[in-house]
Each structure stands twice: as C-alpha cells, then as structure tokens.
C-alpha cells in the first residue's frame, strides 16, 4: 500500500516532482510512500512528510478512490493534510515543488495513478477557505 498526502494551504495543494527513477523523474506526485509493516496509514503519511519535506502534518479525509497501480501489486490511497505549526516544506527528496490552485492542477504532468485523485481534489480546492 502506497499513501500520499494532498497538503492543502490557502486553496492550493502541494505537488512534488519525483527525482527518481528516471522513467518518472520530473512527474508530479503527492508526498508519501509505502506503508511499513505494522504502521498505520496516518503514521506512514506523517513519517513520509517529515522525511521528504521536513514538515509536521495533520491528516484529514480521503481524496478520491483507491487506485490500483500499474503492476497490480499495490494500491494508492491519498488523504488531505494540513501543515502544522507554520512548518514550511523543503524539497529534501523532490526535484521541485509547486503549490497549485484548482485552475493550475493540469499545468503539471502527474503520475498516471494520481490523475483520478487530482480530479477528485479539484472541488475540494475550490471549496477550501
């Protein structure tokens, strides 16, 4: 199981460009990664956000559906998240980061599995305070 965090701030979501492997480098994703054995999805997201972005987050609701990934062996689940304590994300493992508004979601190339999740995210960004 792969979990991703749709970190929302001021009606924008944080999109992160993968640095590796070469086939997907430069494509955008939600920060996250594999849930380790015995770890909750929420704990995995908090750990990955700390490792990849050096931020503390509060995990919220699911966004979109479970997406089965290309080789069928794993499932991607994305949750909304918000930054805590005014933490500012740093791209420790990503090539680039962008805060995208609903209107800007399609200005980057997302990993294929993320496309249906991004569609489900759009109305949430428009509704965000």
- Binding of residue 79 to ligand 8DG (CB under 6 A): no
Q: Establish if 65 lies at the interface with ligand 8DG (CB under 6 A).
A: no
The residue to which tokens 């972005």 are assigned: 53
Is residue 30 a contact residue for ligand 8DG (CB under 6 A)?
yes
Strand partners for 62 = 79
**Cα→Cα distances 62→16, 17, 27, 74, 120, Å:** 19, 22, 22, 17, 10
Question: Using the rule CB under 6 A, which residue among 14, 105, 114, 125 binds ligand 8DG?
Answer: 114
Count the helix, strand and coil residues of the chain and give each as a percent rounded to the nearest 5.
25, 35, 35
- Site size toward ligand 8DG (CB under 6 A) is 12
Q: Which stretch binds ligand 8DG (CB under 6 A): 28-36, 57-65, 95-103, 118-126?
A: 28-36
Binding interface with ligand 8DG (CB under 6 A): 2, 4, 29-30, 32-34, 69, 76, 111, 113-114
């Amino acid at each position: 199981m792969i979990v991703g965090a749709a970190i929302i701030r001021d009606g924008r979501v944080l999109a992160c460009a993968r640095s590796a492997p070469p086939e997907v480098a430069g494509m955008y994703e939600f920060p996250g990664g594999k849930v380790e054995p015995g770890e909750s999805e929420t704990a995995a997201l908090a750990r990955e956000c700390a490792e990849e972005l050096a931020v503390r987050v509060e995990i919220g609701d699911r966004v979109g559906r479970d997406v089965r990934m290309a080789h069928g062996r794993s499932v991607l689940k994305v949750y909304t998240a918000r930054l805590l304590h005014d933490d500012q994300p740093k791209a420790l493992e990503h090539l680039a980061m962008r805060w995208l508004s609903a209107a800007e979601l399609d200005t980057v190339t997302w990993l294929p599995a993320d496309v249906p999740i991004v569609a489900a995210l759009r109305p949430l960004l428009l509704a965000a305070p």
